Amino acid sequence: MDTGLRLDALSALCGCNVETTAARSQLSPQDFINIVALKEFYKQEGHQQLEYPSVGTISLQEDQDLYSAPAALTEGPSEPPSNNPTIKINPEDFFHPQYNYDFTRIKDGDQSFLRGNELYVRPCGWNRAALRVLQKYDGGDGWLGTGTDAWPVSYHGHNMDGSLGVILTHTGSSADEPNFLDAAAALLVTEDTRGRGIYSTPDIKMAEKFSKTFKSKTDGKTYQVVLQNRINPKQRKQCQRAGLWLLYIPEGSSEVQTRAIVENSLRPYGLLLKQA
């Protein structure tokens, strides 16, 4: 996968101009998914812009019409707003080619895979550029493994937000559940009540439906892009709409608190691309 194509995909996802540098990357992969997820959440909340440390002000005005329906595969080039910042990344410290995997011609059929004792639906049909996330988090790399302490796999589609009309399922409180889950349950008043927070899915087909589509400046072809992550099983909540998980963000959370919820719950490890 060409470096230019990967940068085009990152630009399309975050709405900024992503360029290479020989110096240290301005953002880590975790920062990147923070921006992508927070942009969608703050759009949902009606904000006009996102302030992110080391980046500055990012406009939330582009693509707002896409939240009424999945992006059409025929849409044209996705140009970041001209007033949005340029983000410099060093491919050497941002990507991890050793773990790239081309699933484009793979069909799993009846085979099944587990991550964290939960079903892992592999992204067959997609090409994965691995992100450099090993030894970047406290507590080791068990979250990224295949054992019982691993986190389940989650896919983040660009257009997945509260406009899906997702209702949070309350399973009852217990001593080990955070208090905010009870607050989330209080939102269940009508059938169209939406969970407030960040959405992702274990289903690559659902993520594809809500993926970001862009035309590459590098080769002129049109692609879909999705982020492959691991999600903290203690933080997510299943939704009544099958195949969706929610990271609930309580009302009144500050920007720092909101960002901390994402950082503690969603960790990226792959950039998935597929020609549309």
CA distance 159 to 274: 16
CA distances from 69 to 36, 160, 199, 209, 210 (A): 18, 10, 16, 10, 8
Paired tokens of 78: 């996705």
SS3 at position 21: coil
What is the predicted pLDDT for the residue at 210?
A: 87
Alpha helices by DSSP H, 175-264: 179-185, 204-209, 255-263
Q: What are phi and psi of 121, to 5 degrees?
A: -85, 105
CB 185 within 8 A of CB 231: no
Mean pLDDT (the chain, rounded):
84
| pLDDT value, residue 182 | 45
pLDDT grade for 225, boundaries at 50, 70 and 90:
very high
Which residue pairs, CB below 8 angstroms and at least 24 apart, start in 145-149?
146/114, 146/115, 147/116, 148/116, 148/117, 149/116
What is the model's pTM?
A: 0.84
Whether residue 57 has pLDDT greater than 70: yes
Residue 12 structure tokens = 């399309």
pLDDT at 134: 97
Average pLDDT over residues 108-131: 95
Arithmetic mean of pLDDT, 11-24: 95
Which has the closest alpha carbon to 272: 155, 179, 165? Answer: 155
pLDDT confidence of residue 194: 62
**Average pLDDT rounded to a whole number, residues 204-233:** 95
pLDDT tens, position by position, 158-184: 777 665 556 565 444 444 445 554 444
Q: What's the rounded Cα separation, in Å, for the pair 267 and 226?
A: 14
Please count the CA atoms within 13 angstroms of the CA of 26 that sit on its side-chain side: 17
Round the CA-based radius of gyration of the chain to a whole number and report it.
Answer: 18
Structure tokens at 91: 């491919």
Weakest mean pLDDT among 9-18, 63-72, 138-147, 208-217:
63-72
Whether residue 17 has pLDDT greater than 70: yes
Q: Among 139-153, 181-195, 255-269, which is the least confidently predicted range?
A: 181-195
Kindly tell me if the per-residue pLDDT of 268 is higher than 50.
yes
Kindly state the average pLDDT of the residues 64-70: 36
In whole angstroms, give the CA distance from residue 186 to residue 170: 9
